[in-house]
Structure 1
């Protein structure tokens, strides 16, 4: 069963360009992963510094492999997360 992730990130407007660049670079890497089915990055309309990510993987193991990648550690853990003022993540099975 496919595995989906919906993440909402918020940062200060002064950090928006850095977070945006890291998320777009992450998208390039992720779309090349064998288990990745979708990785979409959205900037929330009328809300500076707010992003919505939609990710889909073939299964939970595929997502786990994604989070184990070196570029995940560099771009998300070390670059994006320290700049966030708010972060929510929802995990779901695709019906």
Structure 2
């Protein structure tokens, strides 16, 4: 069953461009993963320095492989998360 992730990120305004660029680089890598079905990056239209990601994988194992990837470590763990002031992540199965 497909597995979905919705992540809401907020950073300081001075970090927004760096976070945005890292998320777009992450998208390039993630879309090439064999278990990825979708990776959509949204900039919040009503809040500065806020982003929402919608991700979909063929199953939970594919997401786990994604989270263990070198690009996840570099862009998400190394660049994005240290700059966040708020982070909410939701996981679910696609019906």
TM over 0.5: yes
In structure 1, stretches of 5+ residues that fail to align are none
Give the TM-score normalised by the residue count of structure 1.
0.99
Which residue does the alignment assign to 1:66?
Answer: 66
SS of residue in 2 equivalent to 1:8: strand
Give the length in aligned residue pairs.
95
TM-score normalised by the chain length of structure 2:
0.99
Structure 1 segments (4+ residues) deviating >4 Å: none
CA shift digits 1:50-79 (9 cap, x unpaired): 000000000000000001101100000010
Write the distance in 2 (CA, Å) between the matches of 1:68 and 1:17.
Answer: 25
Unaligned runs of 5+ in 2: none
Q: Provide the residue aligned with 2:49 in structure 1.
A: 49
